[in-house]
Amino acid sequence: MVGGFVDSVAFGFQSSSMVEHAAVNRVVVGSSPTSGAIFIEGNARFQVTDTLPTQKRPQSLDADVKWPYKVRHKKNGPVLAKIYRPCAGRGDCRVTWHSLGARQMKSFPRFAGQGGAREFAERLVKELAQGSHVPLTPREAQDTLSVRDMLATYKEQTGRRVGILEAVSSFIAASRLLPANSTLIEAARVYSRTLGTVKPKQIAEAVSDFVESRKKEPKPGERARFSPIYARNVEAWLTQFSRSFSGHQVSDLTPDMLDVFFSGFKKLSAKARNDRRGTIGMWLRWCARKEFIEATQLAKLLAGDAMQSEILPDATITFYTPNELQKILDVSEGPLRAVTALQALGGARLQEALRLNYEDLHRTQGHVEISGQHAKTRRRRLLEVGPALAHWLAEFKNKTGPIWSQPLNSYVTEFARLLDDEQVRVPLKRNGLRHGFVSYSYILRGEVETSALAGTSPTILHSRYRGLVEKTEAQKWFVVAPAKADNILVLGKEATV
């Protein structure tokens, strides 16, 4: 180590070991340089050494120079370097400045002229002003060396090279994301316990997997888990969602991203937006079960403004009158008559009626069974077959097989054509047959019994159907029967048609 120090002094610059070992190198103190001054490595490029010139007397000095001679980059700027005159025991001019947290010094045989102390000092202060030489305190210099050693150890342990700038900038950026009085170490510990268990998954892949998981083929005789129309809508909505965030993982999603996505559906109805919210929420919960997203993040997404369902205005409930129903049923024929009568006089939903077989109409005495396989709610219920409904269904007693073997759209088309018939001429009323049954049944039977027959909650019945019709109109509805029918009994009363 001693030999290394002597060599460093001989060549006029400081070796790296001199900075790291404070016990050998001493920092200059006081108003004038001493033998303990540090000579920096960067000075070597000036090609001026101290060993020989210090043995010679310097050239004459300007008597007007005020010592120490102070050198600035700009006229009124800070003093960045000083030149000391020769003194007893030192026959050279010495330039001193601060760099690497310590005072630095270099000796010259002359003050002025080419290769002199002043020329060197003037070039030096330009570099110092431009940041080539950044003055550091001794503590800062020691910290810098310590950071360098820690990063070197980190590279040995992980194989990853990280520079000082990257380490500091990453720390600052991460700290800005944390709440007040939180530390990065605390955040990392929480991450390792929670988000650290999340499986990386691209949004597009998660959507594809979710859609495929719902395509399970039903067993023979069983109803498909989801209707074809609903399944197509879910796939289309989620595919559109995944394309909006191409390249992102599920764990990248934020409430702000959902806000931007839903802002593109302002022209859709509130119900259409709610349908998409429900689908995306269902998919997000599935992702949480698959560990593609952390529970806390899921809660934030679902609580965001974009995922809040909009309150829908109560839709106007329209339904047919008893006279209109009479015209519709009189002109209808075959399967169209059966499906129409089951909705209007039995309370079946359209798709429930379309799923039935003829055998279901007469299997249970006085009732039509809507099995769990056919019911919207997948819960079995019984439709009451009153005298009027019994007359309309009588012609199908010996038939077997599906009542309606065509797609849903074919029934809609046939029913619209029926309403436009010359003998009918009745305007189309959305879901008007079932709405008629529920409205008229509510005032005659009450909400509890009507709820059981229609498969609708008493709360919905009370809020939407209460007080829509008069009792006399309701009694007329349930005696609508074929012209040849007689002795129609309605709710304990006998009436003749």
46 and 83 part of one domain: yes
Domain extent at residue 232:
203-307
Longest alpha-carbon distance in the chain: 142
Q: Is residue 315 part of a domain?
A: no
pLDDT value at residue 100: 64
What total of structural domains would you count in the chain? 4
Final residue in a domain of this structure, among 263, 279, 307: 307
Which residue type does 141 have? A
> Quick check: 52 pLDDT over 90?
no
Q: Is 75 inside any structural domain?
A: yes
Per-residue pLDDT reduced to its tens digit, 79-89: 889 999 998 88
The two structure tokens encoding residue 217: 């083929």
Whole-number Å distance between alpha carbons of 80 and 121: 9
Residue 178 lies in a domain: yes
pTM: 0.49
Strand partners, 368: 383
- 88 & 165 share domain: no
Q: Which SS3 state, helix, strand or coil, does residue 181 take?
A: coil
Are residues 145 and 133 located together in one domain of the fold? no
Instruction: Examine the domain organization and report whether 214 and 150 are in the same domain.
Output: no
The chain-wide mean pLDDT, for the chain, equals 80
Percent of the chain beyond pLDDT 70?
Answer: 78
Residue 482 within a domain: yes
Q: Which residues contact 485 (CB under 8 A, 6 or more apart)?
A: 387, 388, 391, 497
SS3 370: strand
* Residue 210 within a domain: yes
What φ, ψ does residue 102 adopt, rounded to 5°?
-145, 165
Mark whether 59 and 47 lie in a shared domain: yes
| Residues 13, 14, 17: CA angle, nearest 5 degrees | 155
351 and 384 housed in the same domain: yes
- Cα dist. 297→162, 242, 280 in Å? 30, 18, 15
Q: Are residues 224 and 267 in the same domain?
A: yes
* Cα distance between residue 231 and residue 76, in whole Å: 78
Three-state secondary-structure class, residue 311: coil
What is the SS3 assignment for 202?
strand
- Domain match, 257 and 352 both: no
Give me the CATH number covering residue 269. 1.10.150
Rounded Cα–Cα distance for residues 385 and 224 (Å): 28
DSSP codes, 428-447: --TTHHHHHHHHHHHHHH-H
Looking at the structure, do residues 131 and 147 belong to the same domain, yes or no?
Answer: no
- Top pLDDT among 217 and 98 is at 98
pLDDT attached to residue 133: 57
Instruction: Examine the fold and report which residue of 161, 177, 195 is the final residue of a domain before the chain moves on.
Output: 195
Name the helix (H) or strand (E) containing 393.
Answer: helix 387-393
- CA geometry: angle at 364 spanning 344 and 385, to 5°? 25
Task: Answer whether residue 317 is part of any domain.
Answer: no
Residues 479 and 388 sit within 8 Å (Cβ to Cβ): yes
Report in angstroms the alpha-carbon separations of 231 from 294, 370, 372, 409: 27, 23, 20, 17
Residue 440, Cβ density class (10 Å: 0-12 exposed, 13-18 middle, ≥19 buried)? buried
Mean pLDDT of 181-196: 76
Domain contains 426? yes
Exposure string over 5-35, b if 16+ CB within 10 A, otherwise e: beebbebbbbbeebbeeeeebebbeeeebee
Among 108, 137, 166, the domain-final residue is 137
Of 12-16, 135-139, 221-225, the range with the highest mean pLDDT is 135-139
472 pLDDT band, cuts 50/70/90, is very high
pLDDT tens digits, 294-326: 888 899 999 999 999 998 777 788 999 999 999
Residues 209 and 263 in one domain: yes
Q: Are 327 and 399 part of one and the same domain?
A: yes
Task: Looking at the structure, tell me whether residues 376 and 472 fall in a common domain.
Answer: yes
Question: Residue 314 domain-assigned?
Answer: no
